Amino acid sequence: MILHTISELKEYIKNWKKKGLIIGLVPTMGALHEGHKSLIEKSVGQCDKTVVSVFVNPIQFCPGEDLEKYPRTLEADNELCENIGADVVFAPSPREMYGEETILSNDFLTYVIPPYFYVNKLCGKSRVGHFDGVCTVVNKLFNIVQPDYAFFGQKDAQQLIIIKKMVKDLNIPVEIVSCPIVRESSGLALSSRNKYLKDEEKDSALALSKILFNIKACYAKGITDIEALKETAYPYLNETHNLEYLEFLDAETLKEKVIADNNTRVFIAVKIGDVRLIDNITLGVR
């Protein structure tokens, strides 16, 4: 069932809360794939009621990014959610989420701003303001749905860490459930933006997971020097790849690592043509 307004959704939430039901929220921007499916399945398995939000959040896109062309497939998304057993797809319009004056000008919106330490690196460096938009919309969704659990994928590990920090700092009464990355058999991490890749670019995209798997294998053989591990990436890169970052950070805190250890997460972002892809892996067993 698709609901487009906050007031309709709130009626359901009120009834569920009255009955003491456990509510799960899976926030998404739609164009659902197997990665989202795994989050929804987890919520349906763990909670009495599952809300999947489908909202292409305009305030987390930077100028020049793909807001207009971001894939919108609401009917198919709803079918997938119903097949898995989700109870509601919440698909508000930007006007419904942010109100008339905010649509006219961002100056009227109260934002949730995550700490500079967490956003001044990885995707936050090139996507200035992106995580302000993410935290603001996720906070709004938490307030609307009042979920007991909210499910996020490790594919967007920086986002996941920032949301956990927001929940802790603002005492938001929700438990964040972190879900593993889902990959194609080729190794490519699933992403709604994979739809933009042309066939030949899809081959190039395999470099990301190959680099990460190889770094993990080198670490397992005993290499802990980060520069040496970084060096192993270059043979996988060619002129089709524009490497934005390859960083070794603490998996939970995003602090810089001096040497690689089991708590290290390796983050990579590469642009192939116009398509920006990200991936990550932990070096320890997780």
Q: Does 278 bind ligand PAF (CB under 6 A)?
A: no
Nearer to ligand PAF, 39 or 283 (CB): 39
Which of 149, 219 has the CB closer to ligand PAF?
149
By CB under 6 A, is residue 27 in contact with ligand PAF? yes
Interface with ligand PAF includes 194 (CB under 6 A)? no
Radius of gyration of the chain (CA): 19
Site for ligand PAF in 48-67 (CB under 6 A): 57, 60
Among 137, 218, 277, 278, binds ligand PAF (CB under 6 A): 137
Report the Cα 248 to chain-centroid distance in Å.
19
* Half-sphere exposure at residue 257, Cβ-oriented, CA atoms within 13 angstroms: 26
Which parts of the chain are beta strand (E)? 2-3, 23-28, 49-54, 88-90, 149-153, 175-179, 241-250, 264-272, 275-282
- The minimum distance between CB 130 and ligand PAF, in angstroms, equals 8
Number of residues that bind ligand PAF (CB under 6 A): 10
Site pattern 93..132 for ligand PAF (x: CB under 6 A): ----------------------------------------
Question: Any catalytic annotation for residue 36?
Answer: yes
Reported as half-sphere exposure (CB side, CA atoms, 13 A), residue 213 has a value of 11
Q: Which residues are CB-neighbours of 155 under 8 A, at least 6 positions away?
A: 35, 181, 182, 189, 190, 191, 278, 279, 280
178 vs 196: CA distance, rounded Å? 26
Q: Which of 86, 134, 212, 249 touches ligand PAF by CB under 6 A?
A: 134
Q: Which of 41, 87, 156, 247 binds ligand PAF (CB under 6 A)?
A: 156
% helix, strand, coil for the chain, step of 5: 45, 20, 35
Active site residues: 36
Q: Which residues make up the interface to ligand PAF (CB under 6 A)?
A: 27-29, 57, 60, 134, 137-138, 156, 159
